[in-house]
Amino acid sequence: MRRLGHHRIHGKTGGVGTKGMVAKLSIGVIVLLICTLSLLFSFNIGGSPEPSRPSKINVEELWESADSGGWRPSSAPRSDWPPPTKETNGYLRVRCNGGLNQQRSAICNAVLAARIMNATLVLPELDANSFWHDDSGFQGIYDVEHFIETLKYDVKIVGKIPDVHKNGKTKKIKAFQIRPPRDAPIDWYLTTALKAMKEHSAIYLTPFSHRLAEEIDNPEYQRLRCRVNYHALRFKPHIMKLSESIVDKLRSQGHFMSIHLRFEMDMLAFAGCFDIFNPEEQKILRKYRKENFAEKRLIYNERRAIGKCPLTPEEVGLILRAMRFDNSTRIYLAAGELFGGERFMKPFRTLFPRLDNHSSVDPSEELSAKSQGLIGSAVDYMVCLLSDIFMPTYDGPSNFANNLLGHRLYYGFRTTIRPDRKALAPIFIAREKGKTAGFEEAVRRVMLKTNFGGPHKRISPESFYTNSWPDCFCQMNPKKSSDKCPPDNVVEILESRLESVGDPDSTSQTNSTVTGLER
């Protein structure tokens, strides 16, 4: 079940006499060496074999979680992790730009930046002028109390920068504004940013999207990112309740799949995939691209041939049909307004008529009013997280899909279907030219080579937020000490260290934190 394929190596031997024997012996030694190396490399960096790929696609197995290979999620500290000091170096403000999931990654980076600089983090600001034009803010989307409580062993967090009272006078601290470089290394925060913080008492980093390097050679820092992303960032209770209600209704009739159908104007304009649309639609896409993206010469046929175009709804349906999902499959669509309208959805709907979105499952007033805002996106995120299978159709540039892939991996290796657009492109192009013989078998061969949600090594350009294995996972019976799970009393250890610092809030509720850290 879901195991990586084994490759046999065949060597020809020949010759007579001593030369033939030497040749055979040499080849035998080479084959033995290759087989030995193959055996070594068949084990992952944690010393455990990665789950191997199946020889055929079994739909019933896909409804279950992928093979964990003996790993489980764990983001609790595994080495010395002192609590934040009573006095910090100053205050850190950040403005997180972009949509909900780009902002989510920025919040993780902000917490880590505060830890690196020994700073007090001010609740991150969510850009009201971002894609959604939504002014809900951090307090309107996330459970603030849970966020602060869960991270109390890592950083100090305040709602706003407090005034300074001295000699009977009140003074406001004005944060010094800095534009951090993209993917800034830790050294930048320990030098440029920290120097400004000590000089001005507070700094304001804006914009703060992708402003801290993802690949950091410090497992504890990476685990802190996971604690923020998968434990501290919990949506507000009414969003969670709404999401769970939708999931319950969908699951009342059996398994369901969620699909992030990224066939919207912004992504199509970004990709430069115009030719399948009529002249008026192409004009709209070109105008949007000119206004929002850097000028670049993009040729549709070339882009599509290398898998740079989003899958059309029909292509998504054809992939699922080739994988042997039938028309009784219930599908939840997480998508904005599909560009091109019903004519692109009709072929998909013909193949899979049981389609839903959050508005059709729960046509509540709250969702109807904010379906295209951060709350609607948050509900879609939770439903996709909890679905039995998740399928992104354009995961490369999509923060929503990338974050969900990482969260589902951490949530228990939940099944994902990730179409290899580059490998599928020639198959779809051939079909459009009338070459339909063997189409479904060709699609299945491509899909068999993909990962269905099990642990796998992160290879660039895959993001840490898409795949935090093995940093944020552990093994009960590890081959390497670095993969050993933390002790069961890790929370008590962290709590005692926090109390030794003298934090007056250190004895507050810890139930939510215990649950979060030990999962």
Kindly state whether residues 212 and 272 are assigned to the same domain: no
pLDDT for res 367: 60
Q: How far apart, in whole angstroms, are the C-alpha atoms of residue 465 and residue 519?
A: 18
Domain membership flag for residue 31: no
Q: Mean per-residue pLDDT for 474-490?
A: 87
The token duo for 331 is 């599908």
Average pLDDT value for the chain: 84
Domain membership flag for residue 49: no
Helix or strand holding residue 423 (H, E) = helix 421-432
Q: What is the CA radius of gyration of the chain?
A: 26
Percent of the chain having pLDDT more than 70? 82
pLDDT for res 6: 34
Domain membership flag for residue 438: yes
Q: Mean per-residue pLDDT for 19-23?
A: 42
Q: Mean per-residue pLDDT for 282-292?
A: 93
Q: How far apart, in whole angstroms, are the C-alpha atoms of residue 152 and residue 506?
A: 8
Kindly state whether residues 281 and 335 are assigned to the same domain: yes
pLDDT at 193 over 60: yes
pLDDT for res 119: 98
DSSP string, 276-331: TS-HHHHHHHHHHHHHHS------HHHHHHTT-SPPPHHHHHHHHHHTT--TT--E
Segment 381-422, tens digit of pLDDT: 999 999 999 999 987 667 899 999 999 999 999 999 999 999
Handedness of CA 503, 509, 514, 515 (dihedral sign): negative
Helix orientation angle between 100-117 and 399-410, rounded to the nearest 10 degrees = 60
CA nearest 274: which of 262, 263, 289, 285? 285
Higher pLDDT, 360 or 230: 230
Cis preceding linkage at 279, omega within 30: no
pLDDT at 2 over 50: no
Kindly state whether residues 287 and 370 are assigned to the same domain: yes
For the ranges 238-247, 272-281, 478-487, the lowest mean pLDDT is seen at 478-487
Kindly state whether residues 180 and 247 are assigned to the same domain: no
Query: Residue 329's domain spans which residues?
Result: 237-475
Asked if 234 contacts 240 with a C-beta cutoff of 8 angstroms, the reply is yes
Segment 3-12, tens digit of pLDDT: 333 333 333 3
Kindly state whether residues 226 and 191 are assigned to the same domain: yes
Q: How far apart, in whole angstroms, are the C-alpha atoms of residue 373 and residue 370?
A: 5
Rounded to the nearest 5 percent, the helix, strand and coil shares of the chain are: 45, 10, 45
Q: Cα torsion for 441, 442, 448, 453, to the nearest 10°?
A: -110
Segment 423-468, tens digit of pLDDT: 999 999 999 999 999 999 999 999 999 989 999 999 888 899 999 9
Kindly state whether residues 323 and 459 are assigned to the same domain: yes
Asked if 94 contacts 138 with a C-beta cutoff of 8 angstroms, the reply is no
Q: Which residues share a beta bridge with 156?
A: 120
pLDDT for res 300: 85
Query: How far is C-alpha 38 from the chain's CA centre?
Result: 30
pLDDT for res 21: 41
Kindly state whether residues 276 and 322 are assigned to the same domain: yes
Asked if 176 contacts 196 with a C-beta cutoff of 8 angstroms, the reply is yes
Kindly state whether residues 175 and 255 are assigned to the same domain: no
pLDDT for res 487: 84
DSSP string, 392-405: ESS-SS-HHHHHHH
Asked if 13 contacts 23 with a C-beta cutoff of 8 angstroms, the reply is yes
Tally of structural domains, the chain: 2
191 three-state secondary structure = helix
Kindly state whether residues 471 and 336 are assigned to the same domain: yes
pLDDT at 361 over 60: yes
pLDDT for res 482: 86
Kindly state whether residues 129 and 242 are assigned to the same domain: no
Q: Mean per-residue pLDDT for 342-371?
A: 82
Kindly state whether residues 148 and 206 are assigned to the same domain: yes
Q: With cut-offs at 50, 70 and 90, classify the pLDDT of residue 52.
A: low
Higher pLDDT, 280 or 460: 280
Q: With cut-offs at 50, 70 and 90, classify the pLDDT of residue 208.
A: very high
